[in-house]
């Protein structure tokens, strides 16, 4: 039985704020479809992120850049149909908010109206402040994302750990405070030193969710396909694998092939 089966209270941005205040860690994983959304929600995850990592793990692209708004809405609406309790957050895809706050608002409204999700997430600090301001002013909860920002991979040129230099670390803290001031409800920090993430988490009043950002964050997020071992080539140091589903699935598929080829499947009980 799942840990939280008894707990029907919906997770809201307000609940996440309360969790930070009482020191209860927030659990977050990605989801891209109905079946996985349902399993994750049933297990008791607090937040489900319909991440633009769907571009990598679902569509097989090398980066998160190609995924479109329509595709994100399709993934998000599928997840929402499977969820009763978790807060569902959807990534604004690349090209739908950078440098154009009107587009940012229109895209966020489309996500909220067409998918039924509860919040949006976007990457960046001072460069996206106009977009954040506009979206928040429309009453849409915004989650920020600083540190390694995969939509800026061609600017960074590498997926290595960010903000190890003082200047970048100072800018990150400045951006985090600015985003909080603009009204975001939570912040993701990706692949930065644990001490810096600790400083940001202790400085901000809003929850800080880490991925490769150490143990002092208010919560943790991973890409579900990575932690389940479905994606098996991606092995950064921060990734803990909780299962080896590639192996489990492979065994099942090989057994099925054998059973079909040998005529063992279907047997009489499996026939009408």
For the question of residue 270 being annotated catalytic, the response is: no
Give min distance, CB of 53 to ligand KIV, in A.
3
Give min distance, CB of 52 to ligand KIV, in A.
5
Q: Which residues bind ligand KIV (CB under 6 A)?
A: 30, 49, 51-53, 91, 188, 190, 211, 221, 223
Give min distance, CB of 188 to ligand KIV, in A.
5
Give min distance, CB of 245 to ligand KIV, in A.
18
φ/ψ of residue 212, rounded to 5? 65, 30
- The nearer residue to ligand KIV, 233 or 250, going by C-beta atoms, is 233
Catalytic residue among 126, 170, 181, 190: 190
Q: Which residues lie below 8 Å from residue 226, measured CB to CB, with a gap of 6+?
A: 57, 234, 239, 241
- The nearer residue to ligand KIV, 190 or 218, going by C-beta atoms, is 190
By CB atoms closer than 10 A (0-12, 13-18, 19+), residue 256 is exposed
- Helix 101-115 vs helix 69-80: angle between axes, to the nearest 10 degrees? 30
Task: Name the residue with the smallest CB distance to ligand KIV.
Answer: 51
Instruction: Give the integer Cα–Cα distance in Å for 161 and 148.
Output: 7
- The nearer residue to ligand KIV, 11 or 222, going by C-beta atoms, is 222
- Scored b (16 or more CB within 10 A) or e, 10-22 reads ebebeebeebbee
φ/ψ of residue 216, rounded to 5? -90, 0
- The nearer residue to ligand KIV, 42 or 91, going by C-beta atoms, is 91
The catalytic residue positions are 190
């Amino acid at each position: 039985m799942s840990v939280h089966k008894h707990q029907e209270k919906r997770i809201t941005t307000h609940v996440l704020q309360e969790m930070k205040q009482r020191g209860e860690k927030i659990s977050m994983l990605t989801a891209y479809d109905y079946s996985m959304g349902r399993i994750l929600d049933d297990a008791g995850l607090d937040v489900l992120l319909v991440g633009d990592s769907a571009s990598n793990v679902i569509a097989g692209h090398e980066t998160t850049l190609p995924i479109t708004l329509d595709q994100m809405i399709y993934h998000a609406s599928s997840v929402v149909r499977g969820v009763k309790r978790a807060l569902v957050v959807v990534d604004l895809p690349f090209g739908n908010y950078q440098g154009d706050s009107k587009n940012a608002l229109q895209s966020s409204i489309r996500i909220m109206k067409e998918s039924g999700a509860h919040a949006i997430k976007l990457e960046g600090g001072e460069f996206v402040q106009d977009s954040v301001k506009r979206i928040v002013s429309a009453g849409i909860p915004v989650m920020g994302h600083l540190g390694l920002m995969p939509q800026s991979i061609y600017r960074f040129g590498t997926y290595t750990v960010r903000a190890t230099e003082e200047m970048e670390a100072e800018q990150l803290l400045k951006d985090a405070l600015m985003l909080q001031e603009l009204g975001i409800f939570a912040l993701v920090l990706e692949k930065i030193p644990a001490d810096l993430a600790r400083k940001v988490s202790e400085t901000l009043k809003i929850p800080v969710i880490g991925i490769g950002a150490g143990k002092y964050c208010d919560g943790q997020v991973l890409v579900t396909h990575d932690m389940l071992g479905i994606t098996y080539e991606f092995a950064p140091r921060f990734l803990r694998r909780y299962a080896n589903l590639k192996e489990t699935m492979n065994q099942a598929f090989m057994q099925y092939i054998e059973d079909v080829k040998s005529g063992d499947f279907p047997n009489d009980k499996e026939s009408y």
